[in-house]
Amino acid sequence: MKPEEGRKRVIIEAIQPQIDCGRYPTRRIVGDQIAISAAIFSDGHDHVAARLLFKHESERQWRSTSMTALGNDLWSANFTVEQLGAWTYAIQAWVDHFDTWCDDLKKRLAAQPDPSSPDLAKRDLPPQDIPVAFEIGAQLLDQTAARAGASGRESKSADVKRLKTIAASLRALASQKLPLYEYPLSPEIEHLAARYPDLAFASDAKELHLWVDRERARFSSWYELFPRSTSPDPTRHGTFADVELLLPEIAGMGFDILYLPPIHPIGMAFRKGPNNTPSTDPGDPGSPWAIGSPEGGHKAIHPRLGTFADFDHLVAAVRANGMELALDIAFQCSPDHPWVKQHPDWFLHRPDGTIQYAENPPKKYQDIYPLNFESPDWKALWDELRSVFQFWIHRGVRVFRVDNPHTKAFAFWEWCLADLRTEAPDVIFLAEAFTRPHVMYALAKGGYTQSYTYFTWRTEKSELQAYFEEITKPPVSDFFTPNVWPNTPDILHASLQTGDRPAFMQRVILATTLAASYGIYGPAFELCENVPVRPGSEEYLNSEKYQVRHWDRSAAHSIAPLIARLNQIRRTNPALQSDLSLHFHEVDNPQLIAYSKSAPGVDGGPPNVILTVVNLDPHNEQAGWVDLDLKQLGIGHDEFFDVEDLLTSAHYQWHDRSNYVALRPAIMPAHVLRVTRKTDTSGMLDIRNI
């Protein structure tokens, strides 16, 4: 088919970043500089030029910046995103006739014979038609002046006059018919002409989209607790007021998000007892995820936790302690939920007319009815689910952890999350989706800010490295932000069951240094709770999901001081606040893993470089030689440098690539080292770090 305009000769392809050919927005953080690249070329030998167009959703006019040729038809440009929300960017490219003419003229001038030169071969070159070339350049400048006059720029009058003057001077040179010419234009004049390109036949690439989140979307530390287990009185159900009493302690540990499991009324029908037993006693509280009773559903509060006034007070108190409150949104219902009677079509019915409860064979959840996203009344269902988020957003909540989002329709999430962000662009959604990679990635593309990961089950050095290299590098990192959890109320991994306290230390060090966002389920984690309900199970014995627990938060074996130290290290070292610089280094012992992160220095200062070495064996001391990628650390070969262990404040002098490490897990299973270049090498005789 003949194109509508066949004179558009420039090809634009391989634009990066883009997600699924532009189907989904790329994700970035406020303040990021966005690097855009593309392959841009045309037929023949004419030069091309290109510019990057970009704008925030609130802007009507495009902003632009020139793209730079990198060689081999690759071009790039950067722009900075200063606002939350949706951004659009595009590339426009065209044949640059004036720049082509400039280059051609330089070649002609270089080839013109010099009458005074004894170089006969050069004097025998054919005439270069320099006067004709000057006339062509003058015509191009006249056209440029006309575009400048129509551009609407404030300075257009001066530019028009300057361009016409230059065109006249070229014509004057052409009329002189001199035996030898010099190049008549300055770089300033070339730049002036480039300000008014001929876009009549410019090629325009498809518009692409960015979603820009706030900083906490990239860097966050989550602490999960069950409010009902916070009472200082073992005989009493915990309340929001009890949670408030713990806020200084949790904030003091360095967490910035306090996450609460569902706070709604819990159904009585098929209520689960301790350790997920199907039979209950009258005092058993049931699972918070069995949401809904005659007292209300997803927009109600369990009466034993407090009132809405108490909740609002908690939200303010959390904020006053430098944190944010995150709520769990679980779209499932107890058989007692009001929706079951009001909207029976929202649920899947079995042939006998009963509603299908949730199952994950061999597990059965008789206390939970899943929603049916193929319901004939799906539009009303979507609206109601969206309204749940809106309800809590209007009460000041800006962070949500969403339970099992992969069991709900992807189209719903894409619509719902985008719609919610139109009124609250600062909202953060964490997907609790322990599922297949493509499913996790689809949720991220569809709008989830962060996602749980497979970190919990990655314990070997090779699998840790392979997995984190996948999720922290493009193309995955352009849309997927990991949030790593060493434990959850559902998952007590075998490594924690058998590794005792050193395993908990090891896993939290890995979590806090491998990923910019992480979380723990506490106080089970800091108190090293590691007894499963039965051998081979990942369920806790006496799980808080089914009963109220009372914790001795001051126990001597608590690793809370270590967690607090790690969070403090993360806050004071920008290198640990992003995942994009993660780089693994070789170690000759498979039980030792080494990796670094870096960030540019502040106000021209030295870069912040953190090197972490972890012993993956919770039972035995492991030692080995770390083979450093010195270029990645900014260290020269044969150079001495200082490393400070931020966990112990010890300093060591290291030298060149190979350095020795030995780690005893019961004492401290890792080094978190700040790397500093050192010019004074006096006294640096012991280069081993033991």
pLDDT digits (tens, 9 = 90+) for 474-519: 999 999 999 999 999 999 999 999 999 999 999 999 999 999 999 9
Choose the catalytic residue: 99, 242, 244, 403. 403
Range of the domain at 41: 11-96+204-212
Question: Do strands 48-56 and 85-95 pair parallel, antiparallel, or not at all (unpaired)?
Answer: antiparallel
Q: Which residues contact 513 (CB under 8 A, 6 or more apart)?
A: 566, 576, 595, 597, 610, 612, 672
Alpha-carbon distance 489 to 487, whole Å?
Answer: 7
DSSP for residue 689:
-
* pLDDT for res 155: 61
**At 627, which CATH number?**
2.60.40.1180
Q: Into how many domains does the chain fold?
A: 4
Residue 688 lies in a domain: no
Q: Is the same domain home to 253 and 320?
A: yes
Mean pLDDT, the chain, whole residue set: 94
Same domain for 229 and 366?
Answer: yes
Of the given ranges (4-8, 600-604, 615-619), which has the lowest mean pLDDT? Answer: 600-604
Catalytic residue among 432, 544, 579, 617, which? 432
Both 400 and 489 in one domain: the answer is yes
Please indicate, yes or no, whether residues 559 and 569 belong to a single structural domain of this protein.
yes
Residue 265 pLDDT > 80: yes
> What are 472-478's contacts with CB under 8 Å, separation 24+?
472/579, 472/580, 472/582, 473/580, 474/16, 474/17, 475/17, 475/19, 476/441, 477/579, 477/580, 478/17, 478/19, 478/26, 478/27
The verdict on 231 and 257 lying in the same domain is: yes
Residue 189, C-beta contacts closer than 8 angstroms, at least 6 positions apart = 162, 166
The pLDDT tens digits for 83-95 are 999 999 999 999 9
pLDDT of residue 599: 96
pLDDT of residue 687: 33
Q: Is 403 a catalytic residue?
A: yes
Q: Is 383 a catalytic residue?
A: no
pLDDT level of residue 125 (50, 70, 90 thresholds): low
Judging by DSSP bridges, how do beta strands 257-260 and 220-224 pair with one another? parallel
Asked which of 167, 196, 225 is the last residue of a domain, the reply is 196
Residues 625 and 563 occupy one common structural domain: no
**Amino acid, single-letter form, for residue 41:** F
Do 267 and 368 belong together in one domain? yes
Question: Is the per-residue pLDDT at 681 higher than 70?
Answer: no
**Tokens in use for 55?**
């704008």
Cβ proximity of 49 and 194 under 8 Å: yes
Poorest-pLDDT segment among 256-260, 347-351, 445-449, 560-564? 347-351
**Is residue 52 helix, strand or coil?**
strand
361 pLDDT exceeds 90? no
Question: Helix, strand or coil for residue 529?
Answer: coil
For 265-284, what is the mean pLDDT?
94
Query: Does 153 lie in the same domain as 73?
Result: no
Q: What is the pTM of this model?
A: 0.93
Of 162, 184, 165, the residue nearest 173 (C-alpha): 184
For position 689, what pLDDT does the model report?
38
Whether the pLDDT of residue 70 is over 90: the answer is: yes
Give the pLDDT of residue 179. Answer: 85
Among residues 147, 205, 203, the alpha carbon closest in space to that of 6 is found at 203
pLDDT in tens, 555-614: 999 999 999 999 999 999 999 999 999 999 999 999 999 999 999 998 888 999 999 999
β 450-451/592-599 pair status:
unpaired
pLDDT at 1 over 90: no
- For residue 351, which amino acid is it? P
Does residue 193 sit in helix, strand or coil? helix
Report the range of poorest mean pLDDT among 245-249, 520-524, 646-650, 686-690: 686-690
